[in-house]
Amino acid sequence: MTRSDEQRIRDILKAIQSIHRSKALLEKHSEDHEIEETVLAAVTFQLFIIGEAVKSLSAIQRETLPEVPWSKIMRQRDLIGHHYFTVDAGMIWETLDKPLKQLHTALKGLSIQD
């Protein structure tokens, strides 16, 4: 069963919300390194979900938002999925700043209810 672009966009927005909740948990328990490791794993999985959903969006849908770095998102998904041993925490945390905010802003502009 294939999912629509709208469903995939909802998946991405849900993953972004999950990342925000994970970051809040980490901030609440910033001195607990076990929680930091767990949050990193959760965030990495959510980035994988985002990448998978992006890869499945139609080209037409991606073309409506040319400001989003679609190919970088898809490459990160491939890196996480196939070359997980090269992924480092710094790369993951960097993704959560400007790139994730840019994606979230662009998708929220589509007025799809999440």
Tokens for 90, please give them.
């710094």
What is the three-class DSSP state of 14?
helix
Q: Which of 20, 29, 82, 104 is labelled catalytic?
A: 82
Q: Which of 21, 33, 62, 77 is labelled catalytic?
A: 77
Residue type, 19: I
Annotation marks residue 33 as catalytic: no
Annotation marks residue 29 as catalytic: no
Q: Kindly state the DSSP code that residue 72 receives in the 8-state scheme.
A: H
Q: 39-44 long-range contacts, Cβ below 8 Å, gap at least 24?
A: 40/89, 40/92, 42/18, 43/19, 43/92, 43/96, 44/80, 44/87, 44/92
Q: 23-31 long-range contacts, Cβ below 8 Å, gap at least 24?
A: 23/96
What is the set of active-site residues? 77, 82
